Chains A and B, each alone.
Chain A
Amino acid sequence: MNVKLLKFVLKTRVTSGYVILIFIFYFLEILYAVLAYFIGKTVKSEFLIAASIIASISLMEILFAGFYYKKSDFDFLFMTPVNRKELAKSFFTTSTLISSSFNFFMCYILLFTEHGYFAFLGLIDIFAILVINISISTIMRKYSTKTRIITIVTLIIWYIIPGFINFPFSPVSAFTGHIYSGTIIGLVLSLLLWLYVYNKSGNLPSTYYNFMAKKSAQIKENVKFSGMSPEKAVFSFNLKMLGGISVMRVGSTARVYAPRFKLTYSFIFSIGIAAVYTILFFYLPKSLYFQFLVGIYYLIYAVIIYPFTKGYAASSTERLWLSLMAMPSYKYFRLNAIGKSLSTEIFLIPLIIGNLILYFIFGHILFLRMLIITMVFGMLFTIIGYYIGGFYNTRQITDLGELSGHARYSIGNIITVIILIPFVLITIISLFIIPVLYIGIIALLIVSFSLILSKKINKRMQDSMVKRDFV
């Protein structure tokens, strides 16, 4: 290992402050292990929680492992006379080091799932799982998205199984009562994968270019716009399909994905989610505490995050040089925001029905409130997201490339969060206090209608976007 190279790669990925933070995390992990050594005990009821924590953090590690590569690394750094293999090894070690800060969040389980005697072995088990995750993420880069998803899902299922059944053949089994088999599997697999990645690391640039290669993407069924009025065309664009553009880093580097689905498929998917959501309440403890807790999570994801990000992403993918050369900004932005919000409403219909069913079965007013909030707030959050994205989102997604750190950690993003906080609070509180629900509906309606109706606001949004190079 070339230490100078490793230092260089590490310094160009994270700040010195972050490196110190990693070491603070290491120190805290050891502290956890020491604590577990004295008070640790095996609690069987915690096994599912332990497996779930490991599985979810592993998923994050696998997905984030590609974040540490930049397009410029492959365009310039790998083209320099520096030994490619050594450079690739430094990248792998760097992503392992940075991701290891996640381990801290797994260490909680040492207190409840390991006998104190094995607490330090538990730390090694957690590190072995990290190495497996980063190695798999690195190896997977050369495969198609479909293969990557299948592999990652399989791995996560393998991690979570020991939480449900007595299963000794997973690295996670070390935390579910099978210390020896779990540890051996974890160590052997991590060592084998680590050796494989190290030996094949010289191939990293070629897997990158394979990943970046354009693939044919034929549309099975064209959406017909011919013969439509401008208004109908905008609605048709929004209501016949769901689509988006994102810069994804599930792989060696960033590339633009432009997936699209028929709204019908999304609706079927939504029915599935609504079914799981509805059935969940039959299995939850019949206490209001649990029902409200799930209700809050439901609101955050289904009514706030999904609709908001949908609107926010929509303005990131605007093509002003086309749309605004065809019609005035107030007309186009208004039509598009309404179209997007209607599409959100269609997606949320199964959840609205789910809440209605729950209301009839359990007779609790909570479900009626959730129904109203879903029906009204979801649409309005899409409109608000669309306009906030237009005003504050710093970068338009146009082509292959990477978003700069400036774009991702900009003041605009902080402003977005600050603007969102009161709306989020109103939405959650409205679940508990009826007057807040009414105030929330009125407030969101006023904000949304002001946004879509005001010519001045729409013109300002256009100016703001063009100034930020949205063309």
Chain B
Amino acid sequence: MYCIDFNNIKKNFGNNTALNDLTININCGDSVSLIGPNGAGKSTTIKILAGLLEPDSGDVLISGYKPDAEEAKKIIGYLPEDASPYLTLSVRENLEYLGALRGIDDLNYKTDFFLDFLKLREYERNKVSSLSRGNRQKLSLALAIMHEPKILLLDEPLNYLDIPSQEDVIKYFKKMDATFLVSTHIMSIAERFTDNIVIINRGQKIWEGQIKQLKNMGDEENASMEAVISQIMGGL
């Protein structure tokens, strides 16, 4: 059984086709980067996997559950691009509020842990609306992972983070016993974060494989990985 089972998904928004028969299957414990140009359907894919959007056709299962089932919600950690927590609440209140909504045990311990780990302690009483974009992203990351999810759906997770925070977060993710699907535009992040890549364009899968395969292709053609991906993306 795949942990992420996304089969023949079609999704239209009016006349626009967002996903066209897209299939992505990810084994439990694997880390996969989802890459594609703007408007390729990456965010739609992640929203469907998170159970926020329903596909027009096709089957989606998260560890055997429908994505909008309560069982699935317990094991999914979802971070959208440019995530915005509750702006009127303080950093601590956001962590506690979402922890309470999720019914997390030892919430005080978890809250304190993430405040210290992400260096948010000095802002714990600050309203989110007054935080910098970087600190807001750190809080969003904490909110997405504080319930220790087994399936992580992350859209540009390291956006706005300073370099030390990026390092800390990557180390933390590597220690997690989880399955990752990470949407990103930055190859260096994909490379450090994940082992496999799925490239999509116009709602269709155009390449799937290991990062080292892409590297080898680049070496053969004496081109960067970005150049190889660009070539692949143009191939549809």
Identify the A interface with B (CB < 8 A). Answer: 214-219, 222-230, 232-234, 237, 241, 243-245, 256-260, 317, 319-328, 332, 398-399, 462-463, 466-467, 471
Contacts and interface: CB of A to CB of B under 8 A. Distances in A.
Nearest to B107: A226
A319 B86 contact: yes
A256 B131 CA distance: 12
B102 A326 contact: yes
Contact of A471 (B13, B80, B93): B80
Interface stretch (B22-30, B71-79, B222-230): B71-79
A322 B145 CA distance: 11
Contacts of A230: 100-103
B189 to A, nearest CB: 20
B82 interface: yes
Contacts, number: 123
A463 B85 CA distance: 20
Contacts of A217: 126-127, 129-130
8 contacts: A218-B126, A219-B93, A222-B93, A223-B89, A225-B96, A230-B100, A398-B82, A467-B13
**Interface SS of B by simple majority:** mixed
B100 A226 contact: yes
Given A219-B126, A326-B73, A256 B47 contact: no
Interface string B23-61: 000000000000000000000000100111110000000
Contacts of A243: 88
A322 B128 CA distance: 14
Interface in B177-221: none
A237 B97 contact: yes
B125 A226 contact: no
Given A222-B92, A233-B100, A471-B52, A319 B130 contact: no
Contacts of B50: 321, 325
Contacts of A226: 96, 99-100, 107-108, 111
A325 B82 contact: no
Contact of A223 (B82, B93, B98, B130): B93
Nearest to A237: B97
B53 A398 contact: no
B88 A398 contact: no
Contacts of B132: 214
A318 to B, nearest CB: 9
B126 A216 contact: yes
A245 B103 contact: no
B204 to A, nearest CB: 21
A414 B87 CA distance: 28
